[in-house]
């Protein structure tokens, strides 16, 4: 298991107000090596053409990877911050819920790399993203 301790999803869903909260992102599941979250496809996350905004998918991916990194570091000493993200948008989504699943690719002392796969509510892949997270000293 990559996590320091079992994950309390209720606690994750009551983090301080942020973009993820505003967009309706909810942490939904975890396994020994993954963290998942859902996001509605609605007026907050669609672009003017009526499909899921690519930026919304990136927010879901970065939220998943950044929180996941936070769950595997000593937060008394370090902070996890996004360093680089890319995303390939594979299929449009007009409504429903998308689910992102993050899995650790690399865990170094200064960087983590996450693979995040986002699927629609039929299980079809919508977006593949890779996030590099910098592990920096915590501010005192």
Tell me the catalytic residues: 62
Q: What number of CA atoms fall less than 13 Å from residue 2's CA on the CB side?
A: 21
């899995």: which residue's tokens? 103
The CB-side HSE value for 99 (13 A sphere, CA atoms) comes to: 12
The neighbour count for residue 27, using CB atoms within 10 Å, is 23
Q: What angle do CA 100, 101, 102 make, to 5 degrees?
A: 120
Q: Which residues pair with 79 in a beta bridge?
A: 136
């Amino acid at each position: 298991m990559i996590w320091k301790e079992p994950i309390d999803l209720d606690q994750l869903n009551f983090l301080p107000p942020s973009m993820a909260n505003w967009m309706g992102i909810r942490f939904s599941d975890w396994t020994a090596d993954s963290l998942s979250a859902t996001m509605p496809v609605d007026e907050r996350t669609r672009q003017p053409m009526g499909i899921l905004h690519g930026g919304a998918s990136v927010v879901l991916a970065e939220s998943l990877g950044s929180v996941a990194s936070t769950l595997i570091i000593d937060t008394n000493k370090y902070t996890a911050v996004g360093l680089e993200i890319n995303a390939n948008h594979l299929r449009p989504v007009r409504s429903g819920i998308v689910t992102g699943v993050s899995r650790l690719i690399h865990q170094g002392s200064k960087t983590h790399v996450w693979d995040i796969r986002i699927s629609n509510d039929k299980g079809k892949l919508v977006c593949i993203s890779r996030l590099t997270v910098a592990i920096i000293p915590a501010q005192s």
